[in-house]
Structure 1
């Protein structure tokens, strides 16, 4: 079956959740949320979308560096390695490195898997990466335990690839083959957010008027209940729900049978759902616009927590997958991959320069080291390292009565 045939079949299966994103349609229809309206799904996913965007844009914006291993605690950037340009400049003919890595991270967070076809030259070096939509990839385990991938690219071409030819970044997995996204692992929290949004839409669509029934102290004729119901709906249902106050005659009384927004704690439950989804992705609340309890001090700390608790574990997952798929056994002994978070962890100018001053005083940085960190050109004589003049080597002499021997 060609690409358009597969796509038509996919959309036919997922027609109950006609969201603007086929990934989300596949996710929610398969997990019991197919009865929710598309707008409710999209609205409830607002925080999840913000979390995914924050993770994808944040991690894709930092360099993914190839380092040459020079021994224990000693390494240097290997910018001459062919993989360096693929990961940081031009992964293929139609995408930038940022676009490719952002696509892979979004695919991982939404569906738990990210795929790209590996293109190599005659020497076995990686020269290009071509992404696949996760919904268009199937995996088969061969008799020898290795994996084979059946994938359809965006032009409709079908590829059969062995595991050495496919970059596969998977989330937490139950079987070691297919990964799970954070949304799949704790889908109940997202379902609660969708239910709360559906309730809010229904509540306000009915003019904030709850469901109920009209009672009369005396008996009514056979046709009178229908007449009363039609009169009520003509005044207070649909587009005419604000057409004046209700008036009951003959002792009629309206009794509510649906919980109202205040009793349902609608605002609190929706705020809790937003915070719960942010916790799913390890995103600090302020990073996705939840600022009701934010202050200047905790906002700065949460910005650091975003890198350390959210982006760093995600980076480690991608680094290990890239090393497994893109480097040979010999290459993994000589090279490793690391994201450079230095730009995201930089403090304000005063804090940075106080740290530079301390590093210079103890001989860790030279003036040119500081200038390079600030993207400034080196100066003549700036590569000299200093140390405090009153320092002496530990154990260089013994003290006798307070005087060095």
Structure 2
């Protein structure tokens, strides 16, 4: 069964407002483009496709989805001696290949892209009896969600799937706990402004860096005479541009004056940089990860790295872990679970890792072979490498 895209019907029970991510919905505001000398007062319409044309939006979605897809995900069983990593079919589905068509990186990258664009990631759990067979991504745009009594039902490809078989991670739920907000919708005004400035900058530089001009002085009478005068001035400007000469003639007694806002005087460069900060806020990520190093220093860049893992990546990792543990293993099955390994994102430089591992070994927090496993090194054959060690000077 193919779950990568199909035509989906809608349920009558569903009460759902159209999302601004839909191509049919126009997100606009008035009295803005007048500042940029445009003919219309409407801001650009915001859709997912248009929003991704803003470099900061594309960078935020790509960075977060790839980072979360790259974090190792394993299945464990809790025993009296601690957590033991599972092997076999379950571990293969969780850690390596969720289904026959996708590896874990591709699957999770697609899943998180849906969360960080439209605002919801969905995946169907295929079972054979009680055994897990595969996990398939579902297109949220082609999935309708309805509530029948206390239960949720997901309709996909003309078939209903109970909530128990669907992994569902929303960006932010609405008050009905059925519909959701997406980051592009929540940041639509900031994205509109970024699109408007992109459009204006494109038009400005496409015109050779010359803002719209007004010809002042005694003007010819009549529509045809005015058109001929405008054509003459336009040809003179075009000739000057093509010949790379900055001088062109004007009729006696006439003058050219700029109309609109000069980008430098309008502080458009600063405004576009500020939009990066606004977009970073919508995805709750430090601006340094959108390549904005304006306020970055050596120290605070490192702190932003820790901030990213502690206050963003770990939270989304927990959201997916919770859904998978509930939907795959059941509500009361506490002996098995899936966990992300975030150590790789917080490893630091080589010297810090080695010193940290050495300290953990010397204080009996880690065996030498456990430290070697963290660095992707083979186990040492000596049996003592599997024992906890401690410095004799620290023992009374």
2:27 to 24, 31, 39: 31
> What is the deviation of 1:113?
1.1
Aligned residues: 363
Between the two structures, name the one with larger relative contact order (CA 8 Å, sep ≥ 6): 2
Match of 2:110 in 1: 103
Distance, in Å, in 2 between the alignment partners of 1:350 and 1:81 is 35
Match of 1:328 in 2: 330
Contact map agreement 1:364 1:385 (CA 8 A) in 2: yes
Contact map agreement 1:112 1:180 (CA 8 A) in 2: yes
Q: Provide structure 2 residue ranges, at least 5 long, that are not aligned to the other structure.
A: 9-18, 29-41
Distance, in Å, in 1 between the alignment partners of 2:155 and 2:44 is 32
1:140-159 equivalent positions in 2, closer than 5 A: 140-142=146-148, 144-152=149-157, 158-159=158-159
Change (3 A) 1:240 1:90: farther
Change (3 A) 1:184 1:65: same
Match of 2:84 in 1: 77
Cα-Cα RMSD: 3.1
> What is the deviation of 1:75?
4.0
Contact map agreement 2:76 2:339 (CA 8 A) in 1: yes
TM (norm. structure 2) is 0.81
Change (3 A) 1:25 1:148: closer
Q: Provide structure 1 residue ranges, at least 5 long, that are not aligned to the other structure.
A: 8-22, 153-157, 394-405
> What is the deviation of 1:159?
2.6
1:355-366 equivalent positions in 2, closer than 5 A: 355-366=356-367
Match of 1:383 in 2: 386
Distance, in Å, in 1 between the alignment partners of 2:135 and 2:192 is 35
2:311 to 309, 312, 328: 309
Equivalent position SS for 1:329: coil
Match of 2:99 in 1: 92
Distance, in Å, in 2 between the alignment partners of 1:137 and 1:172 is 17
TM (norm. structure 1) is 0.79
Distance, in Å, in 1 between the alignment partners of 2:358 and 2:326 is 40
> What is the deviation of 1:78?
4.0
Match of 2:11 in 1: none
Could you list the structure 1 runs, at least 4 aligned residues long, displaced by more than 6 angstroms after superposition: none
Change (3 A) 1:24 1:349: farther
> What is the deviation of 1:35?
4.4
Change (3 A) 1:87 1:5: closer
Distance, in Å, in 1 between the alignment partners of 2:233 and 2:220 is 16
